[in-house]
Structure formats: structure tokens, C-alpha cells
Amino acid sequence: MGRKSLYLLIVGIFIAYYIYIPLPDNTEEPWRMMWLTTQLNTAEKLAAFVELLGLHHIMDSLMFALSIYEVPPTSDENVTVTETKFNNILVRVYVPKRKSEALRRGLFYIHGGGWCLGSAASRYYDLLSRWTADRLDAVVISTNYRLAPKYHFPIQFEDVYNSLRWFLRKNVLAKYGVNPERIGISGDSAGGNLAAAVTQQLLDDPDVKIKLKIQALIYPALQPLDVDSPSYQENSHFPFLSKSLMVRFWSEYFTTDRSLEKAMLSRQHVPVESSHLFKFVNWSSLLPERFIKGYVYSNPNYGSSELAKKYPGFLDVRAAPLLADDNRLHGLPLTYVVTCQYDVLRDDGLMYVTRLRNTGVQVTHNHVENGFHGVFSFPELKIHHRLINQYIEWLKENL
């Protein structure tokens, strides 16, 4: 074997080693999954390296990389797409072109991205909004909101809430031909968090007379108190969303001070005076037995009060909807929850399903045994289209 052939063989082995990622046996299209994972891992590592050099914050670098996937608000043969502002928040509006004699459904959608990344202009969210508007014959509002690390909680929550309240005004609904009795809210990941949070907030808002008919939460992040549940342990290094990255997202939501992130990873961020909140996120009593799988619940290691005083947001129900008490949950609308087996956030969704059902809320739970976090953002995969179809069919039946 010549020297050139040997070098090529070595390079090939290193490339194969870098690309190959062990995946569960029930993974669909594993090689395509590996290729997508390689692209994401490369971007994340490069962004982390740039941050290590002190050049740019990791989230700023990732957002720059994601910006290449943004598309303009272009109408097509089925849907008219425009951009406007709802209470100074930039939104995209998707309206079916076919004539409708009746008022249409309305769906308010909130993109994910760990409160740091993403945009309504993303190609993936643009596609989802188009498909939903066309197939559901609905007006879809896809909202933006200001992002970390430049902005922290409660800015993201307030932007979404103010945008939603604007949409729910009678004159705005009339402008877009939306039936005020058929309005829903939806979001994925951090967007699912914001959807759950603003839906709870609406219950206590006397100025909003129009209420939501449904909420559809796609692998939502719902609490930062316990990041050591079985799903966090099982999927701590799983592609697309590792435990360390999710904790970084949570921490960035509240502050750029990395001491909060370190305390969260060591389970020492909650002070003893807030210990009563753990009953709302105690997975040993809220998870179905098959998801516990022999894991043993251990009491948290309480930290000092300093972090909670500096960054009280991580104990705020507006940031952690699972911390709502049962009286608050009882008034929530018909709910659809998607959870994925291979997702650190799986148990957040499962616990919310249990708590909602315990308070009498009607919940449809779609658990995807071979699903993973972010699957709604990968139209290259067959599983993506199957889940989108199930999501839209549920909306057709219930909204």
C-alpha cells in the first residue's frame, strides 16, 4: 500500500469515527440521523471553541450559523405570508388563499431554540406554519421574541404574552377572519415552555375576554429544578440535545453568569426555603412506572439563597410551568403533549401530563418511542412528516 493510500485510509477512518454515532435499535434512517447529528455537533463544537477563545458567546455564534436557514416571507399558491408587528413584536402571518365562508381557526405558534436561538423566519418553522395554515385552513401567527444572551427572563415571556394578547383583540381577529371561539396555542421545546406559561397567565388576566380552546405542547421544557430525572440521565449524551446543552440553555435564560449553570449541574441551585416546590416536579410520584426503570429518587442538595436572590426567575412559575399549583392547572384548556423517548425533556412532558390529568384537564398524550428532541425541525426525515401529520390531524379534530 502506497503512502498516499495509507493517508487516505487513516483520514477515512477518522471521518467514519467522527460521523458514526451509536443510535438505538429502533432508530429510523440511522445514517441520515448520523449525518444530521454530525452537522449539529460540528457547529456546536466550533461555537464552543470560538467562545473559549473569547471571541463570541456560543449562542451568538450558533445563531449566526442558523441565520443561513432563514427565508423571506414569501407567499405561495396556497398561503399568503406577511410580516407585521403585534405590540412591537415581529410576527409572521399565514393566511390560506382559498375562500372561506366561515371564520377560520387561529393558531398562535412559538418557536423553540432554548430561549437563545431560532426565529419565525427559520425555514423549518416557515414550512411548519405553511403546512398547518393550508391543511388546517387556519390563520397561523408565528411569533418572534427577544433572545438570550442579550435578553433574559422575563423578556421572552413578556414578548410572547404581549404578542398573544394583541392577537386576541377582537379587531385583530376580525381583520384576519379568525373565529374567537377556535383559537389555539402551540410551541416546541422552549416555545412549548412559553406556550404553557402564557396559557397559564391568561387564566388570571381579567382584560383578556377571549380564551384559548386548546394548547399543543411539543417536547416542552417545563422546569429547571431537577435536571437529574431518568430522562436526563438516560439521554445525557444523546444527539441533538445533551444534558449539558439543555442546562446551558436554562442558565442563559436567566443570566450569563455561569455560576448558575454549575450549580444546576451539581443540583445545588435551589435554596432550602424553596424545598416545597419539589413536590410539583417529584418524578418518583409523577412518572408512569415504565419510565422510572429502577431509577431511585434522591433528595436534592440544597444550595445557598444567593443564586435564587440574584436570579429568581428559575423559581418563577412563568419560567417553570410545572411549578403551578393544582388550582391553577385545573382551568387549562384541552391539551396535546408530544414527548420523545430519546429526549432529556421527556420527563418534563410526562409529569405535566400526569398533573394535568390529575386536576381534570383532558389531555391527549403522543409519546414517540423512537422519537428524539427536535424531530419537528428535520423535514429530511420520515418520522418528521409522520409526527406533523398526527399533530395537524389532532388540531383538525379539536380546534
Catalytic residue positions, numbered = 189, 343, 373
Q: How far apart are CA 38 and CA 328, in angstroms?
A: 42
Q: Dig out the grid coordinates for 92 from the structure.
A: 409572521
CA dihedral 8, 50, 21, 384 (to 10 degrees): -120
Helical segments of 96-207, H only: 123-136, 155-167, 170-176, 190-202
Give one DSSP letter per residue of 22-83, joined into a string: ---TT-SSHHHHHHHHHHHHHHHHHHHHHHHTTSS-HHHHHHHHHGGGB------SSEEEEE
Is the separation of the CB atoms in 251 and 113 below 8 Å? no
Q: How far apart are CA 146 and CA 158, in angstroms?
A: 10
Helix (H) or strand (E) holding 384: helix 382-398
Helix (H) or strand (E) holding 390: helix 382-398
Q: How far apart are CA 340 and CA 352, in angstroms?
A: 14
Bridge-partner residues for 352, per DSSP?
none
